[in-house]
A and B are shown apart, each in its own frame.
Chain A
Amino acid sequence: MTASHDTFSEKMADAAIRATPEPLAVRVRGLSDRAIAWLFIAPTIVLLLAINIFPLFWAIYLSFTNFRANRPNAVVQNVGLGNYSRILNDPDIWASMQTTAHFVFWTIVLQTLIGFALAYLIDRKFRGHAFWTTLILIPMMLSPAVVGNFWRFLYEPQIGLFAYAVSFVSGIPTSDIQMLGNVHLAPWAIIIVDTWMWTPYVMLICLAGLRSIPDYIYEAAEVDRASPWRQFWSITVPMALPFIMLAVLFRGIENFKMFDMVNLLTGGGPGSTTEVASIALKRDAFEAWATGRSSAFAIVLFVAVFGLANIYVKALNKVKQR
């Protein structure tokens, strides 16, 4: 605990180090490290260019035209920003964006809360916690197509287990529990399925976060007389926060482009109450065959997700650096 940084002997030692001449750097001939590095990553870059970057730029080009994929021989006209202005002024598209936002918000809130709570319980390392972890993880391992079909049956008002169980508890007749047919219930039906399937994923990431907190920090806090409540808020949450935020990021990006489950469960209906952006996009592209316009829509979505994710990653890095 001596303030050694300004002692006399330290200064003299520093002076001695400075007086030692630097050895001359030796240059090695042949391929530089950088060239070798490029050689190694070139195949990946070529592949990425072909299947990711090129289609992206092609879509950007198409978004300024009136190209229609079902009329490949028609003359393609440049329409400038026409597609973009139509999209940004289309109330239906704004409605689909709102539906998406609603869906993303609630799935994240529910999955994070339930996922973290489950992780917190599993982390107690009670008897058989490994068995319960495996059991909880099962929904995540299923294919979304299977899950969609499976829940369609569960939601069936006449024969479905879900309607039966709700009716058994609440007394509401099963015929009134039209999870997929009712305009008010359908969005929640999808939120429930997505939460059922992906909460384990959030739990797994949160669990990794909780397991990364060393025991001795808790012991130090206990000796320092911090209550369990204070330990939770001043150790557990801040130290697991980067992991929680990462889970939110993954789920957010994933759910922004959610397609399969909605397509299987409601197909965007009833009416357009569950028509999330990706469903609207698919209809525009492959039902209306407005390839140019839907390309513009896709670009708008891409920019939105990319921008939001970037802001979020900045925040995440800030939390991590603390």
Chain B
Amino acid sequence: MADVALKGVTRSFGDKRAVDGLDLHIADGEFVVLLGPTGAGKTTTLRLIAGLEKPDAGTVEIGGRPMNGESAAGRDVAFVFQQYSLYPHLTVYENLAFPLRSPARRMDKASLDARVRQVAKMVRIDHKLENRSTRLSGGEMQRVAIGRALVRRPSIYLMDEPLSSLDAKLRGELRLELKRIQKELGATLLYVTHDQIEAMTMADRIGILAEGRLVQIGTPREIYANPANLHVAARLGQPHINLMPADLLPGVAAPAGTRTIGARTEHLEISRARQGSAGLGPDGNAEVDWIEHLGDQNHLHIKVGGHKLVTLADPDLPVEAGDRISVRLKQPLYFGGDGQRLA
């Protein structure tokens, strides 16, 4: 394992800058997740580190060594692709053994066999070692693909949305497993996703990418609680953060220059209007528009003036569509006219 550093890396495709002056340092043994929408440059960043793309400017350093001009084979990275990139004519065993059979990595038969079986067990595919890789389900194929990366001990593991094509249940299981394996191996791992739950649950640090730039990087807690701007705030949180004009709701001491207030569920205080709480009078300041029942929680759609807000509510909260309620803010996020966070 080694640390990886990107210094001012830029890569364009035609007119479009896929990655634009990207600086990123991934420490040895760290699990970094790059989060961003489609086209933000996440995959290109991985491919630049792997050597599958050449940067137009800037350098990629692995273990302190600049990698400019080094081929993908020479970089000692492992890559898990978004598609199941298995060798279709080979068995699961042969797929897992493939990277170890490289002449650059001469390995005797016994230790190769031991490594393959150990990794197969780790990704729970050891009961299908002799199956053709085309005769597997999607989840099994992706486990083999992850296993094929794990048989190696490269400088860094690069994973490009490896769980995106799996169903929700399997995704949840693999997420846990992957984090456990990464901790066990002490592996340096750069993981790309557009799924905020994957990012929040697995990452040591999350990097938010937008239009090829790194907007903010920090621990999941920092990114969630202290977003640097509107873009970052909008990427995390379920339901989506509510954005509203500064003077819409009471309970704020907005700093000068505040244009927009961002409020997640924890920033909204709801009480039934009839009780006349929060000093807002018996009619409250909002109306319940719609309630979505999720089972363990409800999505409460609220109308305030002409604005619609969505928040989570306890399913036992005794309100119905059409009820008047009182809503006030509790230490929300303040953003200026340029979208940057003020406080």
Contacts and interface: CB of A to CB of B under 8 A. Distances in A.
Given A223-B50, A239-B88, A322-B132, A3 B98 contact: no
Interface in A33-81: none
A223 B88 contact: no
Given A220-B79, A238-B89, A1 B124 contact: yes
Contact of B83 (A214, A222, A224): A214
B98 A226 contact: yes
Interface in A218-252: 219-227, 230, 234-235, 238-239
Q: Identify the 5 closest CB pairs spanning chains A and B, nearest first.
A: A1-B177, A224-B99, A225-B102, A220-B85, A238-B89
A222 B173 contact: no
Interface string B71-115: 111000111010101011110000000110011110000000000
Report the contact-size class of chain B (Cβ under 8 Å from the partner). Answer: 35 or more
10 contacts: A1-B123, A4-B169, A214-B83, A217-B85, A219-B72, A220-B85, A221-B87, A223-B72, A223-B77, A224-B148
A223 B78 contact: yes
Interface string B185-209: 0000000000000000000000000
Interface of A: 1-4, 214, 216-217, 219-227, 230, 234-235, 238-239, 322
B102 to A, nearest CB: 4
Interface string B273-311: 000000000000000000000000000000000000000
A238 B173 CA distance: 34
A226 B177 contact: no
B73 A225 contact: yes
B225 interface: no
Contact of B71 (A3, A214, A222): A222
Given A1-B177, A223-B72, A322 B89 contact: yes
Given A2-B176, A2-B177, A4-B173, A222 B73 contact: yes
B42 interface: no
B74 to A, nearest CB: 8
A219 B98 CA distance: 14
B27 interface: no
Nearest to B74: A225
Nearest to A1: B177
B166 to A, nearest CB: 11
Given A1-B123, A4-B173, A225 B105 contact: yes
Contacts of A225: 73, 99, 102, 104-105
A180 to B, nearest CB: 45
A217 B133 CA distance: 13
A224 to B, nearest CB: 4
> Could you say which of A217, A223, A227 has the most chain B C-beta atoms within 10 Å of its C-beta?
A223
Nearest to B123: A1
A224 B87 CA distance: 12
B117 to A, nearest CB: 15
B180 to A, nearest CB: 9
Contacts of B105: 225
Contacts of A230: 102
A231 to B, nearest CB: 10
B250 to A, nearest CB: 46
Given A1-B173, A2-B173, A222-B52, A217 B103 contact: no
A154 to B, nearest CB: 43
A245 to B, nearest CB: 13
A221 B148 CA distance: 11
B88 A219 contact: no
B99 A216 contact: no
A216 B105 CA distance: 22
B215 interface: no
Given A220-B85, A230-B102, 13 more contacts: A1-B143, A220-B81, A222-B73, A223-B50, A224-B102, A224-B148, A225-B102, A225-B104, A225-B105, A226-B102, A235-B87, A239-B89, A322-B89
